[in-house]
Amino acid sequence: MTGLPGWLQPLRDSLSDPERTLSAAPSDGRPAGVLVLFGEAAYGPDLLFIERSSALRNHPGQVAFPGGRLEDSDADLVAAALREAEEETGLDPGGVEVFGELEPLGLSVSDFRVTPVLGWWRAQSPVRVVDPGEVAAVQRVPIAELTNADNRYLMVHPGGHRGPGFLIDGLLIWGFTAYVVDGILTRGGWQRPWDQERTMAVPSRYLGRRPVARPDLDAPAGAAPHDI
């Protein structure tokens, strides 16, 4: 592995620890991959997110990692995550150094088995909204804001599920995406104490028009990847 910054080493080292997994038993859902892309700016390390269009039928307006389902043309889930990230944000996949994958997570609502692909943005390229009909915004969020206790909430889904959430300058990260972020913060040694009794109901505008199913902790609900 070349050029990986020192602050990412604990996260990479954690991938070989079988006790530090994000999921329980993997599901039999359709395979998909999302790109968890770490960059670095003047304010320090950050993560790349997309905000889905509010006009979409499923998961409208929700924050997600770039990514989507495995297509026949994809060599593997890494290729799928990179292809979707390029299609959604315009980033150059050639500047991304993939350094690992997390355990796949089952999404019972959409019947997908999603693998988070970890990447280091070694050669950063401009990012933007490529298709406004599907992506409303592309955001880089500092890790320092994700670890700020003032930005942390326990999200309460109307179906009964509870999980981590982040509210940063009006940008709400919850569900699947927040679940992955929370696990990554722990793995990387960046997690800071926060008030886990501070709750927030998931706003109805993020719930879409499909019937609400009650997921369990093995099948995180919420912000799904594009096309999932």
pLDDT for 92-131, tens place per residue?
Answer: 999 999 999 999 887 766 667 899 999 999 999 999 999 8
**Domains annotated on the chain, with CATH:** 26-206 (3.90.79.10)
pLDDT (0 to 100) of residue 91: 96
21-35, 47-61, 167-181, 212-226, range with greatest mean pLDDT:
167-181
Residue 25, pLDDT > 60, answer: no
Write the secondary structure of 134-189 as one string of H (helix), E (strand) and C (coil).
CEEEEEEEEHHHHCCHHHEEEEECCCCCEEEEEEECCEEECHHHHHHHHHHHHHHC
27 vs 82, residue with greater confidence: 82
pLDDT (0 to 100) of residue 11: 96
pTM, entire model: 0.85
Extended beta strands in the chain, E state? 30-41, 44-52, 63-64, 67-69, 96-101, 105-107, 112-121, 135-142, 152-156, 162-168, 171-173, 199-201
